[in-house]
Amino acid sequence: MSFNNTDIAAFKDVWVFCEQRQGKLMPTDFELISEGRKLADELGVALCGLLLGDKVEGLAKELGGYGADKVYVCESPMLKNYTTGGYTTAICQVIEELKPEVMLFGASNIGRDLGPRCAARLHTGLCADCTHLDVDMPIYKDFLREASTLTPEKIEGLNTAMVLGEKHDVSRDLKMTRPAFGGHLMASIICPRFRPAMATVRPGVMKKNAFDQAKADACQIVKPAFTITEDDVQTEVLEIVKAAKKLVDLIGADFIVSVGRGISKDVAGGIKLAEELAAELGGVVGGSRATIDSGWLSADHQVGQTGKTVHPKVYIALGISGAIQHKAGMQDSECIIAVNKNDTAPIFEIADYGICGDLFKVAPMLTEAVRAAKAAK
Amino acid sequence: MKIIVSVKQVPDTSGKVAVNPDGTLDRASMQAIINPDDLNAVEAALKLKDETGCKVVVVTMGPPPAAGMLRELMARGADEGVLVSAREFGGSDTYATSQILAAAISRIGVEKDDVVMCGRQAIDGDTAQVGPQIAEKLHLPQVTYAADIQKTGDTITVKRMLEDGYMTIKVKTPCLLTCIKELNTPRYMSVGGIFEAYGKPLQTFDYETLKDDALIDPTTIGLKGSPTNILTSFTPPLKGAGLMLNEGDDKANCEKLAGILAKKHII
Amino acid sequence: MDFHLSNEQLMLRKMYREFAETEVKPLAEEIDEEERFPMETVEKMAKLGMMGIYFPKEYGGAGGDVLSYAMCVEELAKVCGTTAVVVSAHTSLCCAPIFENGTEEQKKKYLPDLLSGKKIGAFGLTEPGAGTDASGQQTTAVLEGDHYVLNGSKCFITNGNVADTCVVLAMTDKKAGNHGISAFIVEKNFTGFSQGKHEKKMGIRGSSTCDLIFEDCIVPKENLLGKEGKGFKIAMQTLDGGRIGIAAQALGLAEGAIDEAVKYTKERVQFGKRLSQFQNTQFQLADMHCRTQAAQYLVYAAACKKQLHEDYSMDAAMAKLFAAETASDVTRRAVQLFGGYGYTREYPVERMMRDAKITEIYEGTSEVQRMVISGHLGVK
């Protein structure tokens, strides 16, 4: 391979691949540009967006508004829709020519298809699904102090790492932190010997900057040279279909809002509040056995010993006392939130967060608070 | 026609996972299972075998116990197994692993009408990188996130999932597909299949077997062949007792709770 | 004496367990409540070769061994006593006698469909007047030219309502006593054959139990199984094999109950402690596990002896006697450990206790097993 990517000093700038689908930028692009801006500042280099497509130049300035100094735009009818072959070819040519030191992709279904192929072609390291990116060592160590159980000595010792038997200074390396083992383990990965260091970044995790019109106006648009042929494309896109969101069932749901006997004074109202909270979270409604026995919810909603056993990311129990049959169905949920008028209800023994209160008052407030928190991100 | 399926034996991270006092994962607490997405890939291959009579070869890179997993796949209907195992391959990251697997698959042989299948990602590494990287090393077109596969002659039409819908993609063999759970329901081992499993051929490829492949030399495998290094790993702090929110009033409690959830990236 | 399972048997156990947890367990409560035969499960089991495990591939079996079959019944019974007995009765009481006593034509005609699970089998020995005293057969079979005419009825026949093929015992020579009983292969569409009403039972409520009624039932001469007058011997040998299946069912019920009890006592808190922290709970479970493990060794040993074509009659009797009484004891103790919740139908242990009782009765009561064992000891 003619591309010598072990000459670390020859590589400069942070690049962000900005995905567009059918002429629209993905929301995660702005998160990544914002995060890339932070990294570029810590490294003292420029932040550049990389945009591929057909007649997409008009999208580029907006990326500047979130912090991009420059946007490289590669246009061709063959790049209109995403294909692994087409995009990998263009991106790798441009990277070989312009030599960025960091290349970020959003870890969308497409980013996770594209990133590894590019990394393999360029013979460089890629870290997938990152939830935290760091260059600056003090900031990185602060992060570890808060998010891990590592000892202070261990954290201090991370200024250098042993790479192939030699001490390597990691201060200018991109430290890419991501979950493994289904989320039970976090790992910080570096790519010390090759460039660019590549990462795919989980959507919805990085903070988006405020949009700055002046920055958008100042953003430079550059069209680098590249060549792409039919042979490079290798696959054919026959159609792109947007599907209506499928009905999620309890077993596969990430978020479940369950109701119990506590809604008895206004069953329809209670269920509606649960549905609204569930909708805000992108989840589904469940129920304790009492709600099914009373005919308030159909049997497929039942969580518990004789209902379904669930392991969602978040389980919110509204007006559920937490008898052992119910606990059996949800106790392995990652995060359990309980709302109950009675502060001695057994549900609080297994809840991560509890609010002692009237679910009819608390549930709508929680829905609003979640909405506000998501908008602020 | 044959289908080569790349599979991995992984610890079951979806069940209860124990953490050692020093913050490392207690790997012994997790059962060894066949990676779930890989079972979908094997099932897709077996379905094509049912329809066309093609051969199904399963290949895995792992320590010797991984051979047991290959036998279980043969009990489901796979015809042959290849275990890629050598001390020299240890310590490989996804790049080096895909290089080694590409060499092994190359040695098994990829003909014009063959297909290579993988699961989308493994539940230990969770990277989804090895499939695409094998495809790159073998110069095969790839289609990932396959939720439906239809083969007619040398053309495969794939329903490729996006977050909010799907793309329909046409690709010619030989090619590589990565499979997701929506693709199919994996079959069980059958009683008859289990009694046949140990009679089917299972080869082991070690460093000696593969060292003459263009992709393999001491600098392309193991730690030397890995562009990425682990700087450190850690477990998040253990769940303590629950927190009762009492900020004074319901509104404040809800706002605090939403803030906590947002900070933890739960919402 | 090698107490290790082979690679294949270990893989089988893994498969049975996964199948039982995923396909059988979710239906167990429903088929018990509704007294519904789990036909959909039978179809799935058939596809995987579970309806003809220890018979040769040559006749459509899976080519396995007796122990592999016993383990299948065991794993199924852990989650559902009904599903376990469906496999056991079909395999040991219908497939086995045809395989062991049939002519080549009979085997080729009946075994492929039975072993592949396309057809379900049953065994008709018991009559209203002939239970433990099996020799009191009243059903008659009279040879008329090229066929036999059967008259009489059988009762308490497992798989009775769903069986396509039944091995039926009938009197061909009343004067010869036990040596006047013959065995026949009866297809459900033979003229004069009908099935009675589903019997409502204490346990294994999803299992199909009913009368088989023969009213001038025409059975072709070719369907005589074995020789005339050899039926009683065939029946006794068949029951020997069946006892391994039922012993495995009892074993599974006991194991399933222990699993549930361990899980529950680790969750349930009283007096500020988990039940599992009380010594009574610990000692009870220790006893339950010890007895159940002993039962497993008896069951597996009997299966291995049968596989080696050694005389296993006493071993099967011991396995069934001990496993059945263990199952009743263990499931009762499990309900007790659950307390009030265990008595409700929300938890499966009360069903396991109801299911366990029949294992002390059918395919030879515990009293019969004691007769067999003492007989082998020469104690007269």
Predicted confidence (pLDDT) per residue in A52-85, tens digit: 999 999 999 999 999 999 999 999 999 999 999 9
A 10 A CB-CB count for B91 gives 14
Residue A56 host element (H or E)? none
Q: Which residue of A has its CA nearest to B140?
A: A234
Does A220 touch chain C if contact means CB atoms closer than 8 Å? no
Contacts across the A-C interface (CB distance below 8 Å): 12
CA–CA min distance B159, chain C (Å): 28
What does the pLDDT read at residue C224? Answer: 98
- pLDDT tens column, C175-187: 999 999 999 999 9
Q: Out of 3.80.30.20, 3.40.50.620, 2.60.40.1180, 3.30.450.20, select the CATH number for domain B2-210.
A: 3.40.50.620
Instruction: Quote the percentage of chain C above a pLDDT of 90.
Output: 97
Check pLDDT > 80 for residue C160: yes
Q: Which two tokens stand for residue C9?
A: 């048997």
Phi, psi angles (nearest 5°) of residue C280? -60, -45
Q: Which residue of A has its CA nearest to B258?
A: A370
pLDDT tier for residue A120 given thresholds of 50, 70 and 90: very high
Q: Whole-model pTM?
A: 0.89
What does the pLDDT read at residue A245? Answer: 53
> Of the given ranges (A169-173, A179-183, C228-232), which has the lowest mean pLDDT?
A179-183
Instruction: Quote the percentage of chain A above a pLDDT of 70.
Output: 98
Check pLDDT > 90 for residue C380: no
What does the pLDDT read at residue A34? Answer: 96
Q: What is the mean pLDDT of residues C190-201?
A: 96
Check pLDDT > 80 for residue A248: no
Does C29 touch chain A if contact means CB atoms closer than 8 Å? yes
Check pLDDT > 50 for residue C295: yes
Alpha carbon separation from B122 to B11, B33, B115, C18 (Å, rounded): 10, 11, 20, 21
Q: What is the mean pLDDT of residues C353-374?
A: 97
Cα–Cα distance for residue pair A274/C102, rounded to 1 Å: 65
- What are the E-state strand segments in A12-114? 14-18, 20-21, 24-25, 47-53, 70-75, 102-106
DSSP C93: I
Using the CB atoms, write b or e for C236-258: b if 16+ within 10 Å: ebbbbbbbbbbbbbbbbbbbbbb
Looking at the partner chain, which of A289, A306, A324 has a beta carbon nearest the beta carbon of C267? A324
Mean pLDDT across chain C? 97
Check pLDDT > 70 for residue A118: yes
pLDDT tier for residue A247 given thresholds of 50, 70 and 90: very low
Query: Which of C13, C44, C48 best probes binding to B when mutated, by most B CB atoms within 10 angstroms?
Result: C48
Q: What is the mean pLDDT of residues A106-133?
A: 95
Check pLDDT > 80 for residue A249: no
- pLDDT tens column, C217-256: 999 999 999 999 999 999 999 999 999 999 999 999 999 9
Query: Which of B16, B17, B127, B134 best probes binding to A when mutated, by most A CB atoms within 10 angstroms?
Result: B127
Q: What is the mean pLDDT of residues C35-54?
A: 98
Sorted by sequence, the CB contacts under 8 Å of residue C44 that are 6+ apart come out as C19, C23
* Chain B: touching chains (3 or more CB pairs < 8 Å): A, C
What's the distance, Cα to Cα, between the start and end of chain C in Å?
32
Q: What is the mean pLDDT of residues C350-378?
A: 97
What does the pLDDT read at residue A165? Answer: 92
Query: Which of C32, C265, C341, C350 best probes binding to A when mutated, by most A CB atoms within 10 angstroms?
Result: C341
Tell me if B40 sits within 8 A of B186, measured CB to CB: yes
pLDDT tier for residue A305 given thresholds of 50, 70 and 90: confident
Higher pLDDT, C193 or B238: C193
Query: Domain-by-domain residue ranges, chain B?
Result: 2-210, 236-267
pLDDT tier for residue A87 given thresholds of 50, 70 and 90: very high
> Of the given ranges (A327-341, B72-86, C13-27, C72-86), which has the lowest mean pLDDT?
A327-341
- What are the E-state strand segments in A220-287? 220-222, 235-242, 255-259, 284-287
Tell me if B70 sits within 8 A of B83, measured CB to CB: yes
| Residue ranges, chain B, pLDDT below 50 | none
Check pLDDT > 70 for residue C212: yes
Of the residues C74, C199, C325, C363, only one is catalytic, namely C363
Phi, psi angles (nearest 5°) of residue C186? -115, 130
pLDDT tier for residue A284 given thresholds of 50, 70 and 90: very high
Does C28 touch chain B if contact means CB atoms closer than 8 Å? no
Q: What is the mean pLDDT of residues A137-153?
A: 92
What does the pLDDT read at residue A244? Answer: 66
Mean pLDDT across chain A? 92
